[in-house]
Amino acid sequence: MKYQPIKIIENQQQKLLTPAFNMSSSARCFGTNFLGRLKSPICSSNAEQDDHQLPKFEHFGEAVAIPRGPYSDATLECVRVDMMQNENKSDHHCHLYEGKNNILIVRRAQEFQMTLQFNQPVNPSDNFQIEFYIGIDDNVLNGTKIIISFDGSQTGNWTGRMIQQQGDACVVGITPSADAIIGKYYTSVAVIGSNGISRTQKDSGTDFYLLFNAWASNDEVYMPNEEERQEYVMNENGFIYEEESGDGRQWFYGQFVEGILDACFQILDDSHMPLVNRGDAVKVCRIGSAMMNSQDDRGVLVGNWSDDYSLGTAPTFWLGSDQILLQYVNKGPVSFAQCWVYAGTFNTFLRCLGIPARVITNFNSAHDNTGNIVTDLVFNSVGNQLELNERLTRDSIWNYHCWNEAYLSRLDLPADQNFGGWQVVDSTPQETSDGYYRCGPCSVKAIKEGMLGYQFDAPFVFAEVNSDVYKYKLNSQTGKTELLSVDTTYVGMKILTKSIGETNEPMDITETYKYPEGSSKDEETMRNAERTYKTHLQYDDEQGVAMTLEIPQERVKIGQNFQMAVVFRNLSEDTRTIHGFLVGSTIYYTNIQRAQFKQLTFDVTLKPMETSRIQVVVLAQNYMPKLGCQSNLRFVVTAKSMENNQDMTAIQIVNLKGPELAFAMSGPAKVNQEIFVKVEFTNPFPFSLHDVRMAIQGPNFISYREKLYSEISTGASITWIESCVPTRSGNTMIYAVLDCSVLGNVQGNWAVSVQA
Amino acid sequence: MKYQPIKIIENQQQKLLTPAFNMSSSARCFGTNFLGRLKSPICSSNAEQDDHQLPKFEHFGEAVAIPRGPYSDATLECVRVDMMQNENKSDHHCHLYEGKNNILIVRRAQEFQMTLQFNQPVNPSDNFQIEFYIGIDDNVLNGTKIIISFDGSQTGNWTGRMIQQQGDACVVGITPSADAIIGKYYTSVAVIGSNGISRTQKDSGTDFYLLFNAWASNDEVYMPNEEERQEYVMNENGFIYEEESGDGRQWFYGQFVEGILDACFQILDDSHMPLVNRGDAVKVCRIGSAMMNSQDDRGVLVGNWSDDYSLGTAPTFWLGSDQILLQYVNKGPVSFAQCWVYAGTFNTFLRCLGIPARVITNFNSAHDNTGNIVTDLVFNSVGNQLELNERLTRDSIWNYHCWNEAYLSRLDLPADQNFGGWQVVDSTPQETSDGYYRCGPCSVKAIKEGMLGYQFDAPFVFAEVNSDVYKYKLNSQTGKTELLSVDTTYVGMKILTKSIGETNEPMDITETYKYPEGSSKDEETMRNAERTYKTHLQYDDEQGVAMTLEIPQERVKIGQNFQMAVVFRNLSEDTRTIHGFLVGSTIYYTNIQRAQFKQLTFDVTLKPMETSRIQVVVLAQNYMPKLGCQSNLRFVVTAKSMENNQDMTAIQIVNLKGPELAFAMSGPAKVNQEIFVKVEFTNPFPFSLHDVRMAIQGPNFISYREKLYSEISTGASITWIESCVPTRSGNTMIYAVLDCSVLGNVQGNWAVSVQA
C-alpha cells in the first residue's frame, strides 16, 4: 500500500474565490451556489418575463414525453383580448398615469373587466381559462401564476365571473386577491381540448400593472376617507417644511409622469426582492427605504452634506422627484441628496405604487448614535468661561429632519395592539442601530406609547423625537464632567406635514407622536421606553438666574444686518453679577459648525428680581464670508453668575431667508395655446454671483428646462422668458430654482390655472 | 450684463463617484463624507488605540493655549502598576484563556484589584485618579473613557475603592459597570498638580480585556445556575446532533485556545460595529450572526452546499472552531461551511466573549422562502402515477438545521412580556425575510407563544419549527392544483441540544419551542401567528387506506444492502386495489435531490381492513455510484386506490452510517510525558479511495495535524501513529476525521484522562 509523508494543504485559490462569493451576495443574489440548497434562485425580477415564452400548444402527458401531432383537436380559439383600458383605469383611479402605449393599470381587490373574442360561438361544452403570469416561476401556489376558470372551480385567491356571453364574445370580470403581488402581469387565454391545451401568445397589448389599493377595505393599505386618499395617493404636488413657522419648499412628486411607474418597479427589481414578497406592503416599504439611498445596494440617491456639489446637482437645486427617478433609470445612482430629497423621492415611490404616503418634518430632530435617548451637549470650562466642545458633542441635533409616513394596517404585528395606521419610513442614510441604511416601517402609535420592542427600528425613531438634551461642563483639569442642566422639551418640539387639499398650510401632528410634555401618559411612555435604555441621570433644577436668547420675529434675509438680545431674569433675592460669552457660527442644517464669525464677552449686574437685556448687533459683513451655500447661523451663549458660580447656557439658531424670484405670465393660460412665462432675479449682494444655475418646470405646462449664467454682478438683474403650451386644463404649479456655490435655496413656485 | 445661452449640465464623474460611495458604505463605514454630518466617524475599531498616545504632561488651561514649563509641580509619581493577573483571572473565571503574555482578562459588574506603587508615601493631600480607555474617542459620556477617583466623587457607572494604603503602595478595587463596553482597555494613572496633570504612559502590561459576565446578577447575560454556566460558558467540547436518535458529530469549540479571544474582537472590528454599542449583548449577538458568514461583509465562513470542495476544506472535515477562526485572522474568509460549521464557530464566538450559548438541532427544519408558514410539496399526476415535482417544490425541508441559542435578558423588549432567557441566533446564510444574511436574536418564548411582532426575525424562525406540510396534486392538463393532504407534525418534530456535563447525551428541548401538537395552547399559538400570515387552506382528512414507509431500526452502513417496506392498512369496508410507485434518490442534507437510483412500480389488493407489506430491497451497487460524499437516501412512494381514486403519498429519509476509525494509545497518559496515539482505518468498499485526507487534534494533548493518502485500495488499512506530550491533567478529547471526494463524514472522537 502506497502512502505519502505528512503534508499540510494550503488553499491557494481562496483569495480569488471569496471576492466572487461576496460580489454576488452583495448584489443580494441568494448565494452563488444553489446546487443542493435551492433548485434555482427565487425569481426576483419582474422584467425577466419579457424574454419568456409560453408554448402555443402543449400535448397532455408531455411529462412522460410521448410526442404527438402539433395541433389541438379543440376548434375554439381566442382571436382577440380587449383589456378595456379606459373604462378599467378610471374605475381604479389610475387614469392619471401618463404613457404613450395605453397599458392597463388597475388596483388589487377590485374587479376589472376584459372582453374575449373567439373564432366561433362559445358552447357550454367548451373548456377555456384565463391565465395571468408574473415573473418566470409560473407557480400557482405562490401567486406567480393565476388561473381563472368559469366552470365554478377556483385556484388561488383571485376570482373571475362571466358577466356577459353573446355568440363568439364574452365579457368577464376579474378580481385580484387583496394580497396579490404588485407588478407587471401578462395574460393568456387557454383552450383545453381532449389532446392538449392551446394558449394565446404573449402580447404587450394584454399586459397590465397591478397596484396596491387604498380604496379596497380588505387591502392592507386601505384608507377609509376619500379626501385623504386624494391627498396621500393622488396628489402630485407637495410641500416640505423647513421652518416651524411653516416656511419651506414646494416639491413636485410627479408619481403619474410617464416612466415613473416603470422606474419604481425597476427599483424593486434592482433590490432583488423576490416577487413572492411584493404583495406585502410592509416589505415593499422596507425595501424602498433601503433602495432610496445608494449605500449597501447602489440605490437611487447619493447623500452629500458638504458644501461641494461640483460632482453632481446640489440637493437644494431639485424641483421634484421625476427628474431624479428618470436619471436613476438611465444612469444609476443620482448625486446629490439631503433628507428632504430622500423623503420627496421616496414619497413618489410609495404613492406611485398605491401606498398612501406623506412627508413629515421633525424640528430639532435628535440623531442618536450612542444608543441611548440622551443627547449630550458638552461645554469646556476655561477659566470663567464655557465654550461648546465640538468634539465631544457627538450626538447631533438636526435643525429639522424629514421622513415619510406610509399608511399600513401592519398585519405583521399583534392585532390586539392596533399598530395600524401611519408608519414611519425613513430612507435618509443614518447610523441606524441595526447597522444598515434603511429605517422602518415603525408604527407612530408605538412611538407615542413608547413600545419599542416591535419591528422595525422603533428605538431609533423614538430617540429622534424624544431625546432629552443633557448639558455638561467638562473639567479640563481632571477630565471629569458635571451636569449643568437637562432640557426635555427641545427635541422634536414640533412635527409638521402638509394639510389636505390645494394649500401649503402645515398640519401639526406632534400629538400623534407624543403625549403632552409632563402629562402622566407622557411619563408612562418614557417608563416603557426606558426599559430599553439606560435610565436617566437624576438632576434637580434650581435656577437662580434665567437666561434666554431672543431673535428677530420675522425672518432675516441673507445679507441683512440684524439685532438680537440675551435676556437675563434674576429670580433670586440677591444681586447677581453675570459674566457672559457669546459665539456666533455658521452651521450646516445638521447643526454641525462650519465656521465661527463672532465672539463677544460681556458683564452685567442684576438687582434682585431684575430683568436685563444685552443687545447684540450681527453684521452681514461678518457672517456672509463664512456662509457658504448654507443659510443657518447658530448662537451659543454661556454665562456664569459670580456670586454662586451658577452656569447658564443657551443655544439659538437663526435661519436666513434667501432672495426671491419674480414671476409673470404674458396673459391667461389656455390649453394648447402658446404663452410666455418670465422669471426674474436680482442680485441683492455687494458681490457678483458666478456660474449661477437656474431651472424651471411646470407639470402639464412647461417641461423641465435649465440655464446657466456665468456671472450676475452686484445689483444686476436677469430675465428668463420661456414659451410654453399648457397640455391639461385645471390648476397646476410652476416651479423655479436658482443655485450657485455661495447661494443655495433660492426658489419660487406659483399656482397657475389653465382654462379649457 | 453678460449671460450665456441655455446649456444642460451633464455629470460626467458620477459613474466614477458612486462606486467609491458604495465601497466605503458596504464596508459599513458610516458614509465617506462626514463634513457637515458628523464631526468624524464614530470610533468602530478597538485596535486603533494601539497607535494612540496620551500626553505625559498636560498644562491646565491648555485650551486657551498659553504654554508654560514642561513639568508638573506635583512630586507624587506612580512608578509601577500591578494588574494582579493571576488572582483576578481566577476570581473572574478567566484562568483558562491561553496566551503567552499573561494579559489580564476580567468580566464586567465584578470587582478586580490593582496595586499602585508610587515614588513616595501617599498623603491625604495628594490628588490622583485611575483612567481606563478603549478606542480613540476618550469620551467619559459614552463610556470610552473611565475615570476612577478616590475622593468620593464618581464619573460614569464604574466604581472604585481604596482597599489598602501602606506608605507608597495602594491596593484598589475596580468594578466595571454592568453595561460596560467589552473589549481591550488600556490603563493610565494620573496625578493632578496645581499647574497640570501627569499620566503614566501606555504599557501593554497594564492593558486588560473586559468580557460579559454570566455570574453577575445585574449583567444582561446573567445565568443563575452554576452547572449551566460551566456548560454554556466554560465547556470547550460540544456535540452537534444530526440524527433524531442522538447520533452526530463531536465539535471542539476551543474558546480558550490562544488567539481565539483576539480573533473574536477582530471580528467585531471587521464588522465596523461602533465601540459604544459593544456593551449591548443583543447587538453583539446580531452583528455576530451577520459576521459568521462571508456574505454582505466578508465575514468568517463561505457557505457551499455542493459536492465540490476542491477550492477549500469540506464542511465535514472540520474538527472544531479554532482552526477556522485562526485561518480567518490570517487569510480572511474560510472555505467551506454548512450549518453545523456556522453554528459551531458562532458558539465559540459567543462563549469566548462570555455570552452563555449552545448549539441546537431542529429536525425536519422548514426553510420558508415564500413568506408563509406552509411548506408545499407538489406531485405531478401522470396517468395513474404521482411523482414529486422537483421544480415546484420550492420550499425545502432540511433533514436537520443547526443554529445557536444565546442566553440574554432582552432589555430591548417590553419587560412585562418576559422574553428573557434563550434566544435564537442563526448565522447560516438563508433567505431571511429581511433580505440580509443574519438572523436573531429572537426569543424562544416568543416563538412558543406565536408572538412574531417582536424583533428580530421571529416569523422566519417560527416557520422553521412550525410549518405545515401541504401536499398537492398538480393537474398537468389545466395547471390547476388539488390538495392531497396536510401534515402538521412533520416539521420541527424534534429539537435537541447537548446535555450538561461530560456527556454526549441529547436533551430534548422541543417543548421550549412549541406546545404539544393539537393542545389548546398550541392552537392559540397558531392563531397568534396567523395574524402574521395568510390563513391556511381548509382541508378535511378522510383516508380510506393508510400508507406508511418502514425503514430499518438501526442505522444502515454506507455500502450495505438493506430492506425496507411499504405498509398499507385498508381502513375501509371494501376491497381496495392499489397501484403504487416508488422512487429512491440520493439527496443533500438540504433535502434537494442529487440523483435517482431506483424506480419501482407495484400493485397490491387489500381485503377490507387488511394490512399488507411490500418488501423493497435496496442494493449498494445501485445507490453507491450516485452517493457522492452525501450519506442521505430519500424514498418517495405514491399510490392510488383504483376503486375511489384515493391518492396516497409518503416520504422517508435513510441516513447512512459511515465507516469508523479505530483508536489506541501506547499507555496511560501523564502530563509532560511522551505517549503514542494510533488511528486506524480500513476501506470497506469494493473500490479504491483516492486522495484521502485525515486530521487529528486533541486539546492540551496533541496539536492539529493533517495527512494525505493518495490511495487506499479495497480492503486495505492505514495506520497513523503520532507522538504527543499532554500539557494539562484531567479529561480531554481526541478528535480525528477522514475525508475524500466519494466519502465524507468519517470521524471519531475518544475521551482521554491525563494523570498529573
Q: What is the pLDDT of residue B677?
A: 95
Residues of A in contact with B145 (CB under 8 A): 479
From A197, A332, A479, residue closest to B147, measured CB to CB: A479
Residues of A in contact with B276 (CB under 8 A): 369-371
CB B23 within 8 A of CB A430: no
Q: Which of A624, A702, A623 is nearest to A663 (CA)?
A: A702
Residues 67-106 of B with CB under 8 A from A: none
DSSP A112-175: EEEEEEESSPPPTT--EEEEEE-SS---TTTTSEEEEESSS---SS-EEEEEEEETTEEEEEEE
Inspect the interface and report whether the beta carbons of B534 and A42 lie closer than 8 Å: no
Taking the alpha carbons at both ends of chain A, their separation in whole angstroms is 98
Task: Take residue B689 and report the three cell numbers written for it.
Answer: 479511495
Residue B124 is predicted with a pLDDT of 86
CB pair distance less than 8 Å for B411 and A17: no
Catalytic annotation, pick one of A280, A297, A426, A468? A426
pLDDT in tens, A83-111: 999 999 999 999 999 988 889 999 999 99
Residue A295 and residue B2: Cβ atoms within 8 Å? no
Q: What angle do CA A254, A258, A264 make, to 5 degrees?
A: 70
In tens, the pLDDT along B568-611 reads 999 888 899 999 999 999 988 777 888 899 999 999 999 998 99
Using 50, 70 and 90 to split pLDDT, how confident is the model at B132? Answer: very high
The total of other beta-carbon atoms located within 10 Å of residue B639's CB is: 27
pLDDT digits (tens, 9 = 90+) for B53-85: 888 887 775 444 444 556 778 889 999 999 999
| Catalytic choice (B339, B352, B442, B740) | B339
Examine the pLDDT at B16 and tell me if it is beyond 50: no
Chain A contact for B594, CB < 8 A? yes
pLDDT of B428-458, one tens digit each?
Answer: 887 544 445 678 899 999 999 988 878 888 8
Close Cβ partners of B16 (under 8 Å, ≥ 6 residues apart): none
- Selecting from A304, A415, A417 the residue whose C-beta is nearest the C-beta of B33 gives A304
A292 touches chain B (CB under 8 A): no
Torsion of CA A327, A333, A336, A342, to 10 degrees: 90
Chain B touched by A520 (CB under 8 Å):
no
Residue of B170, B401, B442, B739 marked catalytic: B401
What per-residue confidence (pLDDT) applies to B148? 95
Smallest Cβ–Cβ distance between B708 and the set A7, A11, A36 belongs to: A7
Chain B, window 614-673: residues with a beta carbon less than 8 angstroms from a chain A beta carbon: none
Taking an 8 Å cut-off on Cβ atoms, the answer to whether B287 and A413 are in contact is: no
| Identity at A4, one-letter amino acid code | Q
CA closest to B436 among chain A residues: A28
Q: How far apart are CA A405 and CA A447, in angstroms?
A: 13
* CA distance linking residue B452 with residue B458, whole number of Å: 5
* Helical ranges in A271-331 per DSSP H: 281-291, 322-331
The residue in chain A having the minimum alpha-carbon distance to the alpha carbon of residue B438 is A434
> How confident is the model at residue B402, as a pLDDT?
96
Nearest-CA distance A608 → chain B (Å)? 33
The rounded distance, in Å, linking the Cα atoms of A629 and B673 is 77
B32 touches chain A (CB under 8 A): no
Question: Does the distance separating the beta carbons of A394 and B147 come in below 8 Å?
Answer: no
Is A435–B371 a contact, with Cβ atoms under 8 angstroms apart?
A: no
Nearest C-alpha neighbor of B635 from the set B653, B655, B617: B653
Give me the residues of A, 139-198, that contact B with CB < 8 A. Answer: 139-142, 145, 147, 149, 153, 155, 179, 190, 192, 197
Return the half-sphere exposure (C-beta side, CA atoms, 13 A cut-off) of residue A219: 27
Helix, strand, coil % in chain B, rounded to nearest 5: 20, 40, 45
Classify residue B435 as left (phi > 0), alpha (psi -120 to 50) or beta: left
Q: Is the dihedral of CA A138, A140, A144, A150 positive or negative?
A: positive
What does the pLDDT read at residue B280?
A: 93
Active-site residue identified among A78, A401, A442, A629: A401
CA distance A250 to A733: 9
Q: Under an 8 A CB cutoff, do A25 and B294 touch?
A: yes
Of A280, A531, A716, the CB nearest to B414: A531
pLDDT digits (tens, 9 = 90+) for B318-361: 999 999 999 999 999 999 999 999 999 999 999 999 999 999 99
Would residue B401 show up in a list of annotated catalytic residues for this protein? yes
Contact A411 B140 (CB under 8 A): no
CA B20, CA B702: separation in Å to the nearest integer? 48
Q: Are the beta carbons of B141 and A312 separated by less than 8 Å?
A: no
Nearest to A392 among B139, B149, B705 (CB): B139
Q: Nearest 5°: CA angle at A324, between A318 and A329?
A: 165
For B276, name the nearest residue in chain A, comparing CA atoms only: A370
Per DSSP, the residues of A433-444 read TTSSS-EEEEEH
Interchain pair A594, B36: CB under 8 A: yes
Whether B664 contacts B677, CB under 8 Å: yes
Distance from CA of B720 to the nearest CA of A (A): 10
| Window A:348-407, CB contacts with B under 8 Å | 369-371, 376, 378, 380, 382-383, 390-392, 394, 396
Q: Do B480 and A62 touch (CB under 8 A)?
A: no
Q: Do B295 and A6 touch (CB under 8 A)?
A: no
Residues from chain A that touch B431, judged by Cβ atoms under 8 A, are 30, 38, 42, 274
pLDDT > 60? residue B30: no
pLDDT score, position B623: 92
Q: Which residue has the higher pLDDT, A431 or B553?
A: B553
- In the block, residue with C-alpha cell 473572574: B92
Interchain CB contact of A27 with B (< 8 Å): no
Q: What is the pLDDT of residue A698?
A: 92
Taking alpha carbons only, the member of B474, B468, B473 closest to residue B486 is: B468
Are the CB atoms for A614 and A573 separated by under 8 Å? no
Q: Position B158: which residue type? A: W
Q: Which of A591-605, B194-208, B499-513 has the highest mean pLDDT?
A: B499-513
Q: What is the pLDDT of residue B12?
A: 34
Question: Lowest-pLDDT range, A115-119, B46-50, B295-299, B697-701?
Answer: B295-299
What mean pLDDT is predicted for residues B300-318?
89
What is residue B369's predicted lDDT score, i.e. its pLDDT? 58
CA dihedral A62, A65, A68, A73 (to 10 degrees): -10
Model confidence at B396, in pLDDT bands (50, 70, 90)? low
Segments in chain A below pLDDT 70:
1-41, 61-70, 296, 368-372, 383-384, 392-396, 431-437, 531-543
> Can you tell me the distance from the alpha carbon of B154 to that of B145, in angstroms, rounded to the nearest whole number?
13
Determine the pLDDT at residue B11.
Answer: 35
**Interchain pair A479, B378: CB under 8 A:** no
Q: What is the pLDDT of residue A395?
A: 58
Grid cell in block for residue A324: 431624479
Predicted local distance difference test score (pLDDT) of residue B33: 39
Does the pLDDT value for residue B25 go beyond 50? no
Mark yes or no for CB contact A459/B412 under 8 Å: yes
Measured CA to CA, the distance from residue A208 to residue A265 in angstroms comes to 13
What are the backbone angles phi and psi of residue B44, rounded to the nearest 5°? -130, 25
Digit-coded pLDDT (tens) for B229-272 = 999 999 999 999 998 888 899 999 999 999 999 999 999 999 88
Q: For residue A158, give the nearest of A173, A136, A139 by alpha carbon.
A: A173
Residue B22: helix, strand or coil by DSSP? helix
- B291 pLDDT above the threshold of 60: yes
The Cα–Cα gap between A428 and A348 comes to 15
pLDDT of residue B5: 39
* Contact status of A478 with chain B (Cβ, < 8 Å): yes
Decide: helix, strand or coil at residue B522.
Answer: helix
Q: In this structure, is the dihedral angle defined by the CA atoms of residues B221, B222, B224 and B229, taken in order, positive or negative? A: positive
Per-residue model confidence (pLDDT) at position B296: 67
CB within 8 Å: B8 and A33: no
Contacts of B566 (CB under 8 A, 6+ apart): B547, B548, B549, B550, B580, B582, B602, B613, B614, B616, B637, B639, B650
pLDDT at B27 over 80: no
Question: What element of type H or E holds A6?
Answer: none
C-alpha cell at B112: 478586580
- Confirm or reject contact between A219 and chain B (CB < 8 A): no
SS3 state at A333: coil
ipTM over 0.90: no
Instruction: Check residue B653 and give its pLDDT.
Output: 87
> Can you say whether the dihedral through the CA atoms of B574, B580, B586, B588 is positive or negative?
negative
Is A170 labeled as catalytic in the residue annotation?
A: no
A54 touches chain B (CB under 8 A): no
pLDDT at A541: 52
| Active-site hit among B280, B297, B426, B468 | B426
Question: What secondary structure does DSSP assign to B164-184, as a single string?
Answer: EEETTEEEEEEE--TTPPPEE
DSSP class of residue B499 equals P
B139/A394 CB distance under 8 A: yes
Return the SS3 of B125. Answer: coil
Active-site annotation holds for A92: no
Q: Does A303 touch chain B (CB under 8 A)?
A: yes
Q: Assign B490 a pLDDT band (cuts: 50, 70, 90).
A: confident
